[in-house]
Amino acid sequence: MKNTDARAHFPAFQNGFSFLDNAAGAQVPKQCIDAIVSFLSSASCNVGMPYPGSQTATNIKIQTRLETSEFLNCKPTEVVIGTSATSLTFQLARAFSRIFKPGDEIIISELEHEANASPWRSLEAQGVVIKIWRATFPESRLKLDDLRSLISSRTRLLAVCSAANSLGTAPDVAGAAAIAKTVGAWTITDMVHYAPHHLPDVQKLGVDFAVFSSYKVFSTHTAFMFVKEGLLEKLPADKLHFIPDDSLQKFEPGTTNHECLAGWLGTLEYLRTVLGGGATGRAGLQAAYTQIENLEQPLMEFALEKFKDIPGLSFYGEPSTSGRVGTFCINMPGLEPLQVAERLATAGVGVAAGHYYATMPMTALGLMPNGAVRVSVAHYNTKEDLEKLMGALKD
């Protein structure tokens, strides 16, 4: 398969614009759009009632939990549905605030998006100690030996991303979670910027909690959280009084956005049928992500090589394709990041500028408050998109 074969399923690309800001949110395939239209056209109803429209909404929610569990490689009873990864993480932090004690420790990696940092910092007000697992810059690598020196008998939680939204680094989460387990600590991983590029596998990683946003995975603005079996009932929650402690609904207050769930199911259909060759279940997703990885690898290689040809360009992050995803952080001489993004926009190229809520790595690099330019590719991007970018940067 070619990148253009996948791209043909995304209506947004008909305008010829080169969208290289995928880390801020991916474009959606027609299958996602059609699923939303189908649900809203037939009936917009709530769940749990015997009439057809309500049964449709009920089935969509059940199917979403099932197929998301296949996506994460967990059980449907381990999948919490939410509005955003940030809000789900804050919900989890509120639960921890009721069971963590003064002197308990939380370790946060220095590469985190604030969605996986600020919720844990909020616990400092009650005496929880926050430790930062420092990265080595400018390569932005996290070393397991540095984590071992931080871990202690008081460590309760380790927070580490599966891929950094700023620099593209993909840490060794499985190795980190194994270290956390030696002292009985839980691990939460932010998979928001990993899931568009690699199929998540919470079993392989050995984590206790994981979050991802479907709008980064070519779909709608909703999110999901994995909670390892046996932990849910131990976590206090702000819930309706009749909801049981072992029910997923304790972390799902209010009415779910059913049209967003329908769209997510449409995206999973795209992944399985277009990229996965029609295989069902997790096997179809595995086949799809093999295609995604094969389509993105040459794009990463091309970008990393061509950045070297841009006079004066500053590059931050892992210089090779190993241990990273296709998210690149750069700056141009004599121009603020936003100025670069504005000029690229006039050339028909969309990139991000700023700190993208990744204030810790930006601070470590000395780039605050203006941050840097971020270029991020997805499987539907083409070499031509990158050639347009490089030409505009040279100009």
Q: What digits encode the pLDDT tens for the residues 46-105?
A: 898 999 989 999 999 999 999 999 999 999 999 999 999 999 999 999 999 999 999 999
Q: Same domain, yes or no, for 52 and 163?
A: yes
Q: Same domain, yes or no, for 14 and 132?
A: no
Q: What is the pLDDT of residue 263?
A: 98
Pick the last residue of a domain from 208, 233, 267.
Answer: 267
Q: Same domain, yes or no, for 256 and 358?
A: no
How much is the average pLDDT of 379-393? Answer: 98
**What is the spatial distance between Cα 176 and Cα 128, in angstroms, rounded to a whole number?**
21
Q: What is the pLDDT of residue 30?
A: 98
Pick the last residue of a domain from 214, 239, 267.
Answer: 267
Q: Same domain, yes or no, for 80 and 115?
A: yes
How much is the average pLDDT of 113-140? Answer: 97
**Lowest mean pLDDT segment, chosen from 41-50, 79-88, 104-113, 283-292:** 41-50
- In order of 42, 97, 174, 256, the CA distances from 126 in angstroms are 49, 8, 30, 32
pLDDT in tens, 342-363: 999 999 999 999 999 999 999 9
Q: Same domain, yes or no, for 126 and 174?
A: yes
Q: What is the pLDDT of residue 156?
A: 98
Residue 236 counted as domain residue: yes
Residue 42: pLDDT over 90 = no
Residue 316 counted as domain residue: yes
Name, in order, each residue with C-beta under 8 angstroms of 231's C-beta and a sequence gap of 6 or more: 186, 208, 209
- 68-73 — which CB contacts under 8 Å span 24+ positions? 68/224, 68/264, 70/281, 70/282, 70/285, 71/195, 71/199, 71/200, 71/268, 71/282, 71/285, 72/200, 72/201, 72/202, 72/210, 72/212, 72/224, 72/226, 73/200, 73/201, 73/202, 73/203, 73/204, 73/282
**What is the spatial distance between Cα 45 and Cα 326, in angstroms, rounded to a whole number?**
39
How much is the average pLDDT of 5-27? Answer: 96
Q: Same domain, yes or no, for 179 and 254?
A: yes
Residue 303: pLDDT over 90 = yes
pLDDT band (50, 70, 90) for residue 137: very high
How much is the average pLDDT of 10-24? Answer: 96
Q: Same domain, yes or no, for 177 and 292?
A: no
Q: What is the pLDDT of residue 133?
A: 98
pLDDT band (50, 70, 90) for residue 43: confident
Q: Same domain, yes or no, for 140 and 261?
A: yes
Residue 275 counted as domain residue: no
Residue 184 counted as domain residue: yes
Query: Which two three-digit tokens encode residue 187?
Result: 């691990």
Q: What percent of the chain has pLDDT over 90?
A: 95
pLDDT in tens, 157-208: 999 999 999 999 999 999 999 999 999 999 999 999 999 999 999 999 999 9
CATH number, domain with residue 373: 3.90.1150.10
pLDDT band (50, 70, 90) for residue 45: confident
Q: What percent of the chain has pLDDT over 70?
A: 100
Q: What is the pLDDT of residue 44?
A: 84
Query: Which two three-digit tokens encode residue 3?
Result: 């990148």
pLDDT band (50, 70, 90) for residue 294: very high
Sign of CA dihedral 86, 73, 169, 351: negative
Domain carrying residue 345:
3-28+286-394
Q: Same domain, yes or no, for 83 and 196?
A: yes
Residue 124 contacts residue 104 (beta carbons within 8 Å):
no
Residue 32: pLDDT over 90 = yes
CATH number, domain with residue 159: 3.40.640.10
pLDDT in tens, 304-344: 999 999 999 999 999 999 999 999 999 999 999 999 999 99
pLDDT band (50, 70, 90) for residue 139: very high
Average pLDDT score over the chain: 97
pLDDT in tens, 256-274: 999 999 999 999 999 999 9
The domain total for the chain is 2
Q: Same domain, yes or no, for 59 and 162?
A: yes
How much is the average pLDDT of 132-153? Answer: 97
Residue 59 contacts residue 289 (beta carbons within 8 Å):
no
Residue 273 counted as domain residue: no
Residue 279 counted as domain residue: no
Pick the last residue of a domain from 267, 295, 317.
Answer: 267
Residue 281 counted as domain residue: no
Q: Which DSSP string corresponds to 297-334?
A: HHHHHHHHHHHTTSTT-EEES-SSSTTB-SEEEEE-TT
**What is the spatial distance between Cα 208 and Cα 191, in angstroms, rounded to a whole number?**
13
Q: Same domain, yes or no, for 309 and 168?
A: no
Q: Same domain, yes or no, for 227 and 360?
A: no
Residue 140: pLDDT over 90 = yes
Compute the chain's Rg from CA coordinates. 21
Q: What is the pLDDT of residue 93?
A: 97
Residue 274 counted as domain residue: no
